[in-house]
Amino acid sequence: MLIHSHEPANPTLFPNIGHVDRHEWDALVSDQDFFNSHGWLASLDYALGEGDVFTLYGNAGLLGGSALWDGEKQPGLFYLPDYFPGLDGPWQEPFLWVGARRSTHNEIPCVRGRRRGEILSTIAKTLAHLAKRRGYYAAIVPYMPLSQALEVAKSYPHARVIMHSAEATLAVPVGGLDSQLQLQRSHHRVRAKAELTAFSRLGNRVEWCQLDESLLESATELIANNREKYGSHQGPDWMRRIFDGQKKSSVIGAAVAAVAKRGDEISGVTIFYRFGDTLHARYYGSNYQISDNDFRYFVLTYYHSLDYAAKNGIRECRLSISALGAKALRGAAIEPLAALLLFENTPPVSARECDNYNQHFYQHYEQQHGSHLTPDWALLDKRKILCCI
């Protein structure tokens, strides 16, 4: 089979994701990239206001695209000056942020097949131009899986790939939690069993539920509690707004909650979203009026999620970027996340500087997480590939 034509690609900007066919868009989104799915992006548009979407169309339809935003101006997960400590660069300048708002996993939705490299190159170049045209210093895709950041950089010479984070994932064995525990060292198994026993001994049980109105209201309060405990000032109203957006976009239909109950009372809840064969943990809420010495967070988010996943044909649980040490101790693998920086011309940081920085980053993670690092980290050893120039 041959295709004769090399169709030109047509970049188009839309004011929101609603302008893009959801089936065409989602066909380009990997299971791991749920927070860039059409439904999730639409929920953000409803909850937080519309966000621009960049698309690339060919003569047969959508080839690729990405959501755009401005990052944040305060220190935190989306504040560039915090990203690369010790590496000099224009990090105080405004950058165009590529990917879903406040997503800690961003890929660039793009067709597969023979033209993928060419299309990724066009996307990278166009985003760099767009950033410049809009008065930004450059474009950044934060929290991008390292292998994919390298894939893009390989096709665009003015790109830089700089490590800045990592995320935890759990492969789901067919036998669920039991199988997973058998793979672990004995002291890890002992700890897991102790935590599960403590959870039960204190009168807790776990129920898996769809998010109906009643559960949503309870979960909203508990999630706000938890966020407040960790310094967030976004109270229950914020969470209601977020969930209302998810209802409007219907993405709430992909959600399932692991609920810890003691008697009739909810003591904790983790909300997951299923996308393809992957389960994404997103929100955790706790009732701190019930003493939380029962390991409810780990029981809901790790242990029971493995059994639920195994029973429902899910292959992987994704556990985001926080508390990696605790997650690794409970069996999670740690995947590398890089920032992909797209400059219009020669980048202000050299390949060598990036390389050195990434090596130190890798060493630091190796010391902390050792055998829990996934094979993708080895890509950082291939110095010549790393920064692509």
What is the binding site for another protein (CB under 8 A)? 1-5, 7, 21, 23-24, 26-29, 58-63, 111-115, 253-254, 275-276
Minimum distance between the CB of residue 275 and another protein, rounded to whole angstroms? 8
Is residue 55 within 8 Å of residue 11, measured between CB atoms? yes
User: Whose Cβ is closer to another protein: residue 39's or residue 336's?
Assistant: 39
Distance CA 304, CA 311 (A): 11
Closest distance to another protein from the beta carbon of 4 (Å): 4
User: Nearer Cβ to another protein, position 38 or 227?
Assistant: 38
Which is nearer to another protein, 30 or 358 (by Cβ)? 30
Compare residues 32 and 287 and give the one whose CB is closer to another protein: 32
**Least gap, CB of 279 to another protein (angstroms):** 13
Measured from the CB of residue 308, what is the shortest distance to another protein in angstroms?
17
- The nearer residue to another protein, 21 or 82, going by C-beta atoms, is 21
Q: Cβ 176 to another protein, closest distance in Å? A: 22
In terms of CB distance, is 29 or 152 closer to another protein?
29
CB of 105 to another protein, least distance (A): 18
Task: Give the residue with the Cβ less far from another protein, 24 or 355.
Answer: 24
Shortest Å distance, C-beta 316 to another protein? 15
